[in-house]
Structure 1
Amino acid sequence: MTNIIQWNVRGLRANFEELRLLCNQYNPQIVAVQECQLRKDNIINLTGFSGLTKSSPGDNATGGVTLYIHKSVLFSEIQLDTDLQAVAVRVSAKKTLTVCNIYLPPSLDVNFSDLEHLIQQLPAPFVLVGDLNAHSPLWGDVRQDSRGQMIEELLNDYNLCLLNTGEPTYRHHSHHSFSVPDVSICDPSLALEFDWLTHKDLCGSDHFPIILKTSLRDDEPAAEHWKFDRADWMSFRTLCMSRLSDELALSEDPVAQFTNTLIEIANQTIPKSHTSKNKLPKVPWFNDACKQAIKERKKAQRKLFRNPTAENVLAFKQLKAKARHIIKTQKKTSWQNFCSSLTSKTKPKTVWKAIRKIKGKKSTSSLGHLKVNGKLLTDKKQIANLLASTISKNSSSQHYSPKFQAIKKQHEKKPVKFTSDNTEDYNQPFSMLELKQALQKSNDSAVGPDDIHYRLLTNLPESSLTLLLTVFNSIWESGIFPPSWREATIVAIPKPGKDPSDPNNYRPIALTSCLCKTMERMVNNRLMWVLESKGLLAS
């Protein structure tokens, strides 16, 4: 499900860990928070999300909104011409829609024309969520004020639909009354797509988090990954010895036969995980102590709601403070334990990942909508095709400057003085030692289109390695490059500091076959030895 979390967080720094726990529970694609209470141009990065924010006017850390968009979601920011505290994005799910996050402080003098001007800037269909501080029985409040009447008029004039079900979204901390200042509004075409519900816990704020669930599913299947920690390597090797026979090397396409057979064996002996692409990693510090503290806080909250006595108010405040203290303590302890576990054998990737978290460095920006001749492109297939054609053009010789092409053409006309009878050491068939050395230097990198992982190759029995070496030597001696090795999965990475809507501002990462990369490493090792031993490398 495509989930949207809407929440007046009443201080993002104070309740940020509660927000992370909510995200782990509901796996939202959009998170809209109000009253962030951050200073101008400040933003708190949420792991796995891109963030847009608009602070309240002035230097005081009051009000403000932040809109988080999951990295898996294609989106583009809508530049709003308004003084209201609002941000909006255009996102692509099963259909393209606009999501706007807004906060209207109770002291703000809002005119109908201000809201009307905002609505007119939101491309349809749209969803508008936020704390409007507007009260009306239409969405379940016990009273009505002038701002509530204004919102009702806006709904009528623009034929908009209200998603609220009448459940209270706010609890007053002094007189313990409930009201509904948080509103969710959408275009009529989206009215039946969303289920609106409130979270039963205040989670440290005085507003209940609101969950908007929708059936706008992404058509893309969940990503599959090999679960090597649950692999039956004994059965894997047994099947390899019986099914990876020497006859495969004599087939018309030995690489394809070897690949297909190995994948069939792996599917029988190694399970796969079906992880949703917007599934967030578990919070490492959330343990039983945190669970118990939150459970006690919820229990005190329910008791307070049933019987708002001074004793129950005090008990709830104490358990609320206790839960916040335990969460912060466990987070600090988790970090200290991680630092204590670092040794000289710790992978640099693990250390640098932790350092980036300490520095608050943003992760790589997500793929966004593209612009072609000033027109916004939101369809996923069209975006993929445009990126593919742009990368292909930029990577081809046609993209070279005329001066470079002239020099290239001139030097290519010069004959290469090289004669060989192919008896040189570097032309000899590869040995088993070279194959094993190449596999030892392999890392757990991403798989290519054939889904062959290095872990499959490093766990092959001796007989299967001998067959693989025979296949590699057949390619080496015949000079016929396998067609499947010419394919790659291309991942487009936005260039830092560049406009993500320009298709020229993406660099491609090619994920090729691990079989191909293994043979490439063998060839490279041999050539490097020849160049170094003969002193052919320029100093």
Structure 2
Amino acid sequence: MDRQDGYGGIAILVQENMPYSTMDINRQGLAQNTQVQGILLHSPNVAIINIYNPPDTRVTTASWRRLVNSLPKPVIITGDFNGHHPMWGCASSNLNGRTIVETLEDTRLIVLNDGTPTRLTPPNQNPSAVDLTLSSSDIASRTSWRVIKDSGMSDHFPILTYLNHDQPQQEPTTTKRRLFKKANWNQFHDKINEQLTDAIDSDYQSLFRIIEDAAEDTIPYAKNRINNRNPQPWWDEDCTQAVTERRNAIKRYTLDPTMNNYLHAKKTIAASRKTLRRKRKESFRKFCSSLNRNSSTSMIWQTIRRFTKNQATKPPTDLPSPSMAPLILDLLTPIDIEPDFTLEQEGTPEAPFRHNEYLAVLQHKKESAPGMDQVSYSMLAKLPIRASVMMVDIYNKYLQGHSIPSQWKNVLVYPFLKQEKNPELPQSYRPIALASCPGKVLESMIKNRVEWHIESEKLLPPLQFGFRRGKGCNDCIAYITSYIQLGYSRNEHTIATFLDIHAAYDNVDIYILYQKMESMGISSQLRNLIFQFLNNRNMYIKDRKGTIHGPKTTNKGLAQGSPLSPTLFNIYTADIGTNILRGVQLIQYADDLVLLSNGKSIPLLIQNMNSSLQELKEWLAEHKLTISPAKSSAILFKKKNSATNYAPILYNETPIPWKKQVKYLGVMLSHTLNWTDHVELINQKALKGINVMRAVCGIRWGADPSTLLMLYKGIVRPHLDYGTQFIKPCPKQTLAKLDKTQYQALRVITGCMRSTPTNVLLAECAEPSLEVRRNLLATKFILNIRSTENHPLAKILRALKPYCDRKEGYWRSRDTPYPIQAMNRTDAFPSLYCSQLPPCYEYELSHQLTPIPHINLNSTKADFLNNLDFSQMCEERYRNETWIYTDGSLERKQRKVGFGVYIPSIDYKFSSRLQKETQICTAEIIAINHAICVCLEKNITKAIIWVDSKSAIERISSTEIQASRDFISLRTKRLLLEAGENGTKITLGWIPGHFNIKGNQTADTLAKIGRDLNVPVDIKVDKKDILAIIREQIRDEWNGQWSTLLQNKGAAYRCLVTNFPKKPWFSTMPFKNRRHLTTIIRMRTGHCLTYKHLNRIGILDTPNCECGQVGDLTHIILECPINEIPGIDIYVELSKAGNPTPMSIYTILRNLNVQSTNILINFLNYNNVNL
């Protein structure tokens, strides 16, 4: 089809042997110069549409909807739309782009573009992606899309869209990979036990051979697949068993076709179908719950395609070519000249590693690909006790100076091409390193000790936020934004220089690092062991054909993927800001540096910045690091948007470019700090997540709402949340964009109509507004700040707060920032526990890594029904211990909390009241703490503390090192362990609550007495407990706002829901069919395809039903004579299902149960009513 202006046209070329037919296109409303053509393929049955829309030609919403709705489905639409939108990689949006995005929900189309530019643009122009590919949602999971970066004689790149029709052929793989899911772990355990003898010394190679031999016999390798079907991600042994039984039953019937065999076969087929559906659903839900904002969109698409049985033809891998792999290996293995260097052998000896340390590290290791030795974390976790004790003995030999195994220094690198990078350049690849898991376990044990030492001794600078417990990206972003806002409040400008250290980890000098560790007081044994891991590492690299290149040895830099590397880099750069000019702040997150300075004179600020950069340059040169000026940037933050030519900021005589915006730790900062760019960025990412959600559901097919809600919380909401607790002041219309995206996602989840009120949408999904979430996130962040004394951000916020509270000057007409609002909210809690360090660094590391074993009587609670049974069961077994009962009590309405302790043998009874903010689990732990103190005071040497709170015991026993650990559980754990070390054996016992156990009932009564006492004991309250109180306050405030909104929007919904729900009603409903749930949801919202509603939104001319009455929900279901099931009275059936009389559609929908839902759906299906 030629264009009228003579500049080409559009065409669809079809292979000779592929059957197809041409199509007539509905062009109504399209511009004359917009070209459209289409064909209908017969096998596969899919429509292909080609479109060219010239620049400056508007495609109206109505004409686009009309065109798409007239096309047969499924359909793939492709072409040059000249429509711009960030959703498919454009820098901005235009009317055509917004039209397409706004109608995606109605037209049920999926954008296949992944953000890659589709047009060759000059370097001074933004990347362009005007060539779009859209597909029907039901075939999107069978497609694969990519751009070929060779435009030929055009300025548009070719686009390849694959549609899976036949089962794809798999390329053979030669890599041996163990199938740990099919491992026989009991046999693995026993074989190693058999091989271990007293004669075997604590030698790693001997133990490694035993593990390797046991694995060969008990852990199978994955078979090479050539032209075989891909295994489903949800398939397991139960599925295999179900299919085997089904095949055997069918075979049995075929050989002996009796009625019994037929019925058995039918029953087995049904059971097999049920098992496979259940496994697939459970696995998909598990997959959805594992997603977060860092999950790769491509990985999600790939997994969805596997779940939907649609593995599109695999595009070429991102691994390098065989010729490129050696060049990348050379880049990764720089050689440093080894100085005259001797390892230190003197100094205070390091305490040997303990078995508890080893188990604690393994417990919190997630399974990942093993190194070249093929020993995985799961294999280490399944070792028998004798073998794991031997492993710790081996580790201690290396601590004493023995050489670590050579295989621990072998690292296999998979270099993956970075997005939109040139595959012909070695630096375009991101290395993913696979190292030995036994070695990484030892590194993690070293890391725990080193990190605890440098943090507890306060050896790192306060503005170093990267890879430190209790600190993170939010601290950096909050510090920078608050610093800028404080400058605005004082009528000052702020200069921020964002610096990129070139290949920071790869260029660390390990000899300088060794000296820095020595200066920080890290023992010589740990230093020497760390040096062994870093020196003379052997690097291998894998190319796209599976060939492994190497080894090449390097003695420079930190190891990629090592648990130790981030901590070592923090040590290496701990004094980086020592000589920075006073008045200039240096904020560090790993290798991202920011220099900040504010003042009234711009020339003076630039001068100070240049002086600081000169000092920084000298420090970097001494440490063999350098800044890349081209990748760095400087921004001048001013209240007024006035363009000025500023003097250059120089690094090594090279100017750092001035910019109006910069992306820092995933947040877009613009020179006016108005947050428009950041909202656009996160909104674009959220829309891609919604695109994924659409691929697994329609209004009446696909995943159930509960699963989609998990998917929303994993890949959409985190983007909408990221950094938004710091974006006030922000224009309301900018924040409204995020709200609009949230509502769009909730409509995908629920299948609701576009006319559904947004406050009703939120309630049906039990999702509060984003404003509520921003307040909650800010509060959680501020509680972390206020629970640490002398946090560097606290000083900035305290200086900023008076300006915001007075509403003068800059803040006269601007909203108060969320962190300041959170400070005002947390001011009401003077009982907040505050310490100089996070509690995990206040208490000994050895105590934190020691588990607390406990007696679990809940597992045998069916064996006893009363106090007599409990006494008979336990008295014989624990007759030599003193029995102690503890309990906590909470009265929610008046917020009264207490605890009680009861010791029957000495008739000891104690009650106490706690601070009103204390949560019930914390009260239980305080009761245990008091009981331990009583044992020590009264010289009770053997005791059992019976507790009915599992969570309290788990919090005390936890071996995870976290900044969020509460101080009271750590204090109680230390007290318990120290008591044992001093000869007082105290055991915790978990008993069932409310089982008429006399001692437990007495402790419960004492706790209730305690909560009613007048004066609470003076124990500070942990930030988690206060956050729970504030969360309830924010929820109550939101409930009030939501109820007010309900007066005007969705008034009929008030008949169903009066308070904002804590969880969606459909979360408790068994899922059979998405259409069932979405139909009920639409009925509850009042916005469904009834005659009355269709008339109200202008689709029908009359609100009346075919019978002549007004066709609302009540009429259609309960009154219309046309709709009925012969011989069944729907009133009677609904009454049997538990619906009270007098009955109305509102009473039915308000008190939904499974029976009522089934009755309504069956009624609608029988009468062919589509709501």
User: What's the TM-score, normalizing by structure 1?
Assistant: 0.44
Q: Which of the two has higher C-alpha Rg?
A: 2
